[in-house]
């Protein structure tokens, strides 16, 4: 039990930045590489969980012993999360999900024409918020990438999206956030700050977060 506190639990983790098509060769995306989500997946697997890793737009290799789902868009990610939802024990949304997508993805490459081109965007579903509304026994961990007022935005997201933990990275700090092998985060729960973490590798942080989740799950049961 000590080495495998998540045995018998299914952990679903999202990673990467969703890719929203403009046409067959162009898209809108963001700087997420998937490193944080993949580190979490490896940690969950090490702690004995059954792991489903749902990744958008990343070239990272699939971690051993993990069920891998590769896809592109926020809508596809939402459907994959839904499909696994009924027996999910822990959901961790480390993906950077695009808030908007082009209203229409063109079937053919858009040709160069006038001096300006207007793209109309429509809102994507908020996956974490939607799952938060459907939550029964699932333990939910959200992420937040912020540039200012970390605590206020983090607590607002945690409550609005009905999360059990929220991991906030200040993406203005060197060694934190998108693309780096390290991260610097503050961890929040419903009562506020749980811990302000020093800079650590995403692998170490992944293990810390999963151990904390395992401990909290144990407390809920008792």
Residue 220: which H helix or E strand, with range?
helix 202-221
Among 5, 63, 132, 142, binds ligand PMT (CB under 6 A): 142
Choose which of 127, 184, 205, 214 interacts with ligand PMT (CB under 6 A): 127
**Least distance in angstroms from the C-beta of 59 to ligand PMT:** 12
Is 178 a binding residue for ligand PMT by CB under 6 A? The answer is yes
| Total binding residues toward ligand PMT, as defined by CB under 6 A | 25
Q: Is 99 labelled a binding residue? A: yes
30 in catalytic set? yes
Q: Tell whether 109 is in a known binding site.
A: yes
How far is 92 from 150, CA to CA, in rounded Å? 19
**Cα–Cα distance, 23 to 104 (Å, whole number):** 9
* Cβ–Cβ under 8 Å, residues 77 and 128: no
Q: How far is the CB of 122 from ligand PMT (least distance, A)?
A: 12
| Least distance between ligand PMT and beta carbon 69 (Å) | 15
122 phi/psi in degrees, rounded to 5: -125, 155
- Judged by CB under 6 A, the residue of 8, 25, 65, 99 near ligand PMT is 99
Closest to ligand PMT by CB, 88 or 124? 124
In 3-state terms the chain splits into helix, strand, coil percentages (rounded to 5) of 30, 30, 40
Q: CB–CB of 140/56 below 8 Å?
A: no
Using an 8 Å Cβ cutoff, are 195 and 162 in contact?
no
As a whole number of angstroms, the distance between CA 141 and CA 77 comes to 16
Asked whether position 80 contacts ligand PMT by CB under 6 A, the answer is: no
**Active-site residue (options: 30, 57, 124, 183):** 30
Q: Does 96 bind ligand PMT (CB under 6 A)?
A: yes
Does position 46 bind ligand PMT by CB under 6 A? Answer: no
**β strands within 31-177, DSSP E:** 50-56, 67-71, 90-93, 100-102, 121-123, 139-146, 165-170
Query: Could you tell me which residues are annotated as the binding site for CTP?
Result: 99, 109, 143, 157, 161
- Tell me which residues are annotated as active site: 30
Residues of this chain that interact with ligand PMT (CB under 6 A) are 32-36, 74, 93-97, 99, 124, 126-128, 142-145, 157, 169, 177-179
């Amino acid at each position: 039990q000590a080495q495998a506190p998540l045995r018998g639990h299914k952990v679903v983790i999202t990673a990467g930045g969703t890719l929203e098509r403009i046409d067959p060769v162009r898209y809108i995306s963001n700087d997420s590489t998937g490193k944080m989500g993949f580190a979490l997946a490896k940690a969950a697997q090490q702690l004995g969980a059954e792991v489903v890793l749902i990744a958008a737009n990343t070239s990272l290799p699939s971690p051993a012993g993990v069920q891998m789902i590769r896809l592109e868009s926020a809508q596809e990610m939402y459907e994959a999360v839904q499909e696994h939802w009924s027996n999910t024990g822990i959901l961790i949304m480390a993906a950077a999900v695009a808030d908007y997508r082009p209203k229409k993805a063109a079937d053919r490459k858009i040709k160069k024409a006038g001096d300006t081109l207007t793209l109309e965007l429509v809102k994507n579903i908020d996956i974490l918020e939607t799952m938060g509304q459907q939550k029964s026994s699932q333990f939910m961990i959200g992420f937040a990438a912020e540039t200012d007022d970390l605590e206020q935005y983090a607590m607002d997201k945690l409550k609005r999206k009905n999360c059990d933990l929220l991991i906030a990275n200040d993406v203005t700090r060197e060694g934190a956030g998108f693309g780096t092998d390290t991260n610097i985060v503050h961890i929040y729960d419903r009562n506020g700050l749980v811990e302000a973490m020093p800079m650590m590798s995403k692998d170490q942080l992944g293990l810390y977060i999963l151990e904390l989740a395992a401990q909290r799950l144990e407390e809920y049961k008792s």
